Amino acid sequence: MAQVLAVDPRRCTGCRTCELVCSHAKTGQFRPTQSAIRRVTVLDDLGFQPWCCLQCTDAECVQVCPVQAIRRTPEGWLEVDPDSCIGCSLCSLVCPFGNIRVIEGYATKCDLCGGDPLCVRWCPRNALAVDEAANLAEAKAAASAAAYRKLIADQRGGCGVKRVQ
Amino acid sequence: MHETADMVLTVDLSEGTVHRSPLDQSIRDSLLGGAGAALHLLWETMPVGSDPLSAESAVVLGVGALVGTPYPGAAKVSAAFRSPVLASVDGMHWIGCSVAGGRDLGLALRGAGIGYLVIKGRSSQPVYLSIEDGEARLESAADLWGRADAEETAQVLKARYGGAAGVITIGPAGENGVRFAMAFVDQAHSLGRGGFGAVLGSKGLKAVVVRGTKGISAADPERLLAVASRVRDRVAAWPGLEKWSKLGMGAGWSIFQYTQYPGKWPRSVWDRLYGEHVRAESVDQLIACAACAMGCRIKWRIKGGRFDGEVGHGSPFGKSATSGQLLDVADYRDMLHLVTVCNRLGMCFYTFTRMVDWLTNLYRDGRLTRGDTGGVELRRTFDCYEELAWQTAKREGVGRLIAEGWVGVQRELGLDPQEYWYGGICKGTDFIYDARAAKVHPLMLMFVTNPRPHHGGGHSLSTGPGKTVGELIAQMREWGAPVERLFREAPVPEIDVGRCTKYVEDAMMVRNMLGVCSMYSAFGMERMGDLAEAYAALTGRDVGVDGLMEAGERAFNLKKLLNAREGFNRRFDAVPRLWLRPMVSPEGVEVCTDYFRNRAFGEKEFEEALTAYYQERGWDPDTGLPKREKFSQLGLTRYL
Ligand code: SF4
Ligand code: SF4
Ligand code: SF4
């Protein structure tokens, strides 16, 4: 099953540690503007949103690439082969989320660091996690179901069953 | 070595010119970066005795050496400037170096390849400075000046230049020359207690916005990442982390309710009105500086009350709790709103609320009349306090008087600020702590000995309360301090607070040169050895702990020299008279004591501590100024 990088904006402090370590791994320099993961600032109420490639199943970037430089690994995520990439920026133009960019001639995107992402290891707030999307959804469903049950209980004094007086 | 660290960008606002030049390598080697090199550049740029709000005054920003790396809390930018605060009735002004963190400013300056920013002159029209990958331009600020507050200006510029652009902004208080106006960095961090915002305003400079795409290379990146991980592991193992990650700095209430107790309300009442539960219900999210593994700022959202739903950012709990008690404001939500108002207006909440406390009490007692206030009634109500904030920032009504600061009021009305009953004042500047509550440790004495009467990020294990003498000795020994001379363990533990202050100041200066946060050292998560290793890994220059501490001493002496050149001497390092009087509170009588609360600290003890401080510094205890030998020893003779 395909793995994704899950981001939790409620935990993110905006510290950009993820950008610093990612850019170092990708470019050899601490260069946050060239990181594959980005901490986006939401300006209207000052919130932070880590933002990163979603390893789409039916990926626009893969389809548009004229030289097939973006390939799926056996583990299921997408990697750019820099030797094939011609730096045409088409992938960058079609990605619906702004998650792939051409930096110094090559397309750069999150490749999950080969399965053990640095940003996940370095994020001081556990705002990032890597897992199969299905597991993440399962966990989220369990959490929201529990929250829903609590809400109902608070409102009705029972497990969703309205008491007849 | 990273190639971009040393570039100095000089902006002359009168001429409208921009000039780039590399920093002299000998300065980089002897003063490391950040605050150290910024003080040097200020020395070179600013004429002696100039009016801080005139065109000839200058400010220098310096990016700390480690900023731009993932070293925890390496985000700090220092600002060296001459304060518009009146230090004396005859118009003296201290020169100091202020420091701020930020998510984006430090990284953006690094990305633009700028290590230092020198700003001088005065623009005839309101402008903001934009720096994009080293290209600097002055842009019209006509749409912002007089219209947008500090927060709105930051939002406008981040929308214009991208959310990762670093910004410094001022509000109306800075535009109107309020002597305690501040600047704000990246919306959530204040910069320049002591009127930095007014200096920018006097230059017609509404804001600085920076973005850049360059990177920095470390001499030994693996080693740098290893040191950073080591410090982060200590953070992760810290028992206080869980509470901290919910409240940020607000987690410190259990200590704070003793060290910052103003002595008016019983502690139980204070706890009920301002304690931990009110913090928990207002925190919306934590906000960190770049590379910080903790995050101490918050975004808060007021729950209920008149200001329901209002959002603010920064670090509001401590200051609002103390000032709330001083001003008799029972609803903490009103005080959170007042923090937001002061932040947006761009002025120091501490100075503003304490001056208002002082003046409204004098008015109530009939020592100040409507004749003095220009007809404005100074009532002790929240609505009046808020109205005064607006008047101050706009210099309207009685705000014209408040905007002149403590000594300004003294000049105008002959009232003595030393009579104010909480905190303490030195060189015209109010302290945020009162030593009668906090007890006399180096952080307190620094308010007196530091040319800029502020702690300046001097937090360390040795300045927190409740440490054992063994812990203090261990930290000072690691700094290479002569601990035999500084401590006695038996029969009762004693610290020589005067002598220890020297080392705390030097260690603070090291952190401000490297641009790292003092929080890690305050909680014992970082040792000076980590900093020496990180600096070596980044630059390839292995100067060790001794080399760092010597550079810290050098830079501190340079700061002293800048002030000596203005005429400051020991006479100005005056312990506030307030500290010599008992604080009578519902909890009993609080007096100054030594750190371990074994003996009282009176006038004689303070004078002895100051003398010991000057001696440990190798300065003349009579004048309080550095001696020639000190300059030769530290390689500072070029400044004589
Ligand atoms: S780069 Fe964009 S389109 Fe391609 S897989 Fe990632 S998110 Fe999808
Ligand atoms: S490291 Fe974590 S907390 Fe920091 S910006 Fe990235 S996602 Fe947010
Ligand atoms: S502890 Fe606070 S001031 Fe220090 S680096 Fe972290 S967020 Fe910034």
Q: Which ligand is nearest to the CA of A52?
A: 1
For residue B288, report the distance from its CA to the centre of ligand 1, in Å.
29
Q: What is the mean pLDDT of residues B590-599?
A: 94
B134-B138-B143-B146 Cα dihedral, nearest 10 degrees: 110
For residue B102, report the distance from its CA to the centre of ligand 3, in Å.
8
CB-nearest to B215 from A16, A17, A29 is: A29
Phi-psi region of B417 (alpha: psi -120 to 50; beta: other; left: phi over 0): alpha
CB-nearest to B163 from A13, A31, A43 is: A43
Sign of the Cα torsion B429, B434, B438, B442 reads positive
Q: In B203-289, which ranges are continuous DSSP H helix?
A: 221-236, 241-247, 253-259, 267-274, 276-282
**Cα gap B397→B589, rounded to integer Å:** 39
Least reliable range by pLDDT among A101-110, B96-105, B606-615: A101-110
Tokens 């829903």 belong to: A148
**Cα gap B64→B514, rounded to integer Å:** 4
At A15-33, the pLDDT tens digits run 999 999 999 999 999 999 9
Is B200 within 8 Å of B183 (Cβ atoms)?
Answer: yes
Is B204 within 8 Å of B223 (Cβ atoms)?
Answer: no
pLDDT of res. B220? 98
Is B609 within 8 Å of B464 (Cβ atoms)?
Answer: no
Query: Which residue from A minimizes the CA distance to B186?
Result: A46
Residues 153-182 of B with CB under 8 A from A: 155, 158-159, 163-164
Q: Cβ(A112) to ligand 1 under 6 A? A: no
Amino acid at B262: P
Query: Which residue from B minimizes the CA distance to A49?
Result: B163
At B470-506, the pLDDT tens digits run 999 999 999 999 999 999 988 999 999 999 999 999 9
Chain B residues within 8 A of A16 when measuring between CB atoms:
103-104, 107, 164, 290-291
pLDDT of res. A158? 47
Residue B184, C-beta contacts closer than 8 angstroms, at least 6 positions apart: B150, B151, B154, B168, B169, B170, B171, B190, B191, B343, B346
Complete DSSP assignment for B445-511: HHHHHSSSSS-TT--SGGGSTT--HHHHHHHHHHTT--HHHHEE-SSS-EE-HHHHHHHHHHHHHHH
Tokens 């997408």 belong to: A78
Asked whether residue A156 carries a pLDDT value surpassing 60, the answer given is: no
pLDDT of res. A154? 67
**Cα gap B143→B6, rounded to integer Å:** 34
User: How many alpha carbons fall within 13 Å on the CB side of residue B100?
Assistant: 28
Q: What is the DSSP letter of A163?
A: P
User: Tokens standing for B613?
Assistant: 């401080």
**Cα gap B341→B149, rounded to integer Å:** 10
- Phi, psi for A51 (deg, rounded to 5): -140, 135
Least reliable range by pLDDT among A138-152, B329-343, B423-437: A138-152
pLDDT of res. A135? 86
**Mean of per-residue pLDDT scores for chain B:** 96
Atom nearest to A37 CA in ligand 2: 6
Q: Out of A101-115, B99-113, B464-478, give the one with best mean pLDDT.
A: B99-113
**Cα gap B178→B153, rounded to integer Å:** 18
Task: Report the residue among A8, A17, A30 best suited for mutation to probe ligand 2: largest number of ligand atoms under 8 A from its CB.
Answer: A17
H/E stretch holding B64: none
Q: What is the mean pLDDT of residues B345-372?
A: 97
Give yes or no for B289 touching A (CB within 8 A): yes
Query: Which residue from A minimizes the CA distance to B309?
Result: A45
- Say whether A33 and B213 touch across the interface (CB within 8 A): yes
- Say whether B291 and A16 touch across the interface (CB within 8 A): yes
Atom nearest to A100 CA in ligand 1: 1
**Cα gap A100→A79, rounded to integer Å:** 11
Look at residue B69 and give its three-state secondary structure: strand
Is B566 within 8 Å of B93 (Cβ atoms)?
Answer: yes
- Phi, psi for B427 (deg, rounded to 5): 50, 40
pLDDT of res. A44? 81
Residue with CA nearest ligand 3 atom 8: B289
Q: Which ligand is nearest to the CA of A80?
A: 1
- Phi, psi for B126 (deg, rounded to 5): -60, 135
Give yes or no for B21 touching A (CB within 8 A): no
pLDDT of res. A134? 84
pLDDT band at A155 (very low <50, low <70, confident <90, very high): low
Rg (CA), chain B: 23
- Say whether B290 and A15 touch across the interface (CB within 8 A): yes
At B224-243, the pLDDT tens digits run 999 999 999 999 999 999 99
List the single best residue of A16, A42, A102 to mutate versus B (max B Cβ within 10 A). Answer: A16
Distance from CA of B283 to the nearest CA of A (A): 12
Buried b (16+ CB within 10 A) or exposed e, B424-444: bbbbbbbbbbbbbbbbbbbbb
Greater pLDDT, A149 or B198: B198
- Say whether A15 and B215 touch across the interface (CB within 8 A): no
Residue with CA nearest ligand 2 atom 6: A18
**Cα gap B83→B51, rounded to integer Å:** 9
- For chain B, percent of residues with pLDDT exceeding 90: 95
Give yes or no for B288 touching A (CB within 8 A): yes
Chain B residues within 8 A of A125 when measuring between CB atoms:
245, 286, 295
Between CA B431 and CA B438, with CA B435 as vertex, the angle to 5 degrees is 110
Look at residue B78 and give its three-state secondary structure: strand
- Say whether A30 and B70 touch across the interface (CB within 8 A): yes
pLDDT band at A160 (very low <50, low <70, confident <90, very high): very low
Q: What is the model's pTM? A: 0.95
- Say whether A34 and B163 touch across the interface (CB within 8 A): no
Look at residue B98 and give its three-state secondary structure: strand
Q: Which ligand is nearest to the CA of B102?
A: 3
Q: What is the mean pLDDT of residues B189-210?
A: 97
At B532-579, the pLDDT tens digits run 999 999 999 999 999 999 999 999 999 999 999 999 999 999 999 999
**Cα gap B534→B540, rounded to integer Å:** 10
Amino acid at A132: E
User: Tokens standing for B341?
Assistant: 């108002």
pLDDT of res. A137? 85
Between CA B126 and CA B132, with CA B127 as vertex, the angle to 5 degrees is 175
State the complex-level ipTM.
Answer: 0.95
Could you tell me whether strands B7-12 and B116-120 are parallel, antiparallel, or unpaired per DSSP bridges?
A: parallel
Give yes or no for B313 touching A (CB within 8 A): yes
Between CA B444 and CA B453, with CA B448 as vertex, the angle to 5 degrees is 95
pLDDT band at B461 (very low <50, low <70, confident <90, very high): confident
Q: Which ligand is nearest to the CA of B105?
A: 3
At B500-520, the pLDDT tens digits run 999 999 999 999 999 999 999
Which residues have any ligand 2 atom within 6 Å of their CB?
A 12-18, 39, 48, 50, 123, 125, 127-128
Atom nearest to B73 CA in ligand 3: 5
User: Tokens standing for B223?
Assistant: 């080693």
C-alpha distances out from residue B526 to B293, B499, B506, B516, B581, Å? 12, 22, 16, 10, 37
List the single best residue of A16, A30, A101 to mutate versus B (max B Cβ within 10 A). Answer: A30
Chain B residues within 8 A of A122 when measuring between CB atoms:
70, 232
Chain A residues within 8 A of B5 when measuring between CB atoms:
none
Rg (CA), chain A: 20
Q: Which ligand is nearest to the CA of A97?
A: 1
Asked whether residue B416 carries a pLDDT value surpassing 90, the answer given is: yes
Is B270 within 8 Å of B264 (Cβ atoms)?
Answer: no
Look at residue B166 and give its three-state secondary structure: strand
At B238-249, the pLDDT tens digits run 999 999 998 988
- Say whether B293 and A15 touch across the interface (CB within 8 A): yes
Query: Which residue from B minimizes the CA distance to A45?
Result: B311
At A44-88, the pLDDT tens digits run 888 999 999 999 999 999 999 999 999 999 988 999 999 999 999
Q: What is the DSSP letter of B181?
A: B
Domains (range + CATH), chain A: 3-155 (3.30.70.20)
Asked whether residue B3 carries a pLDDT value surpassing 60, the answer given is: no
Which residues have any ligand 3 atom within 6 Å of their CB?
B 73, 75, 101, 288-289, 292, 294-297, 517, 519
pLDDT of res. A150? 82
Asked whether residue B420 carries a pLDDT value surpassing 90, the answer given is: yes
Asked whether residue B1 carries a pLDDT value surpassing 50, the answer given is: no
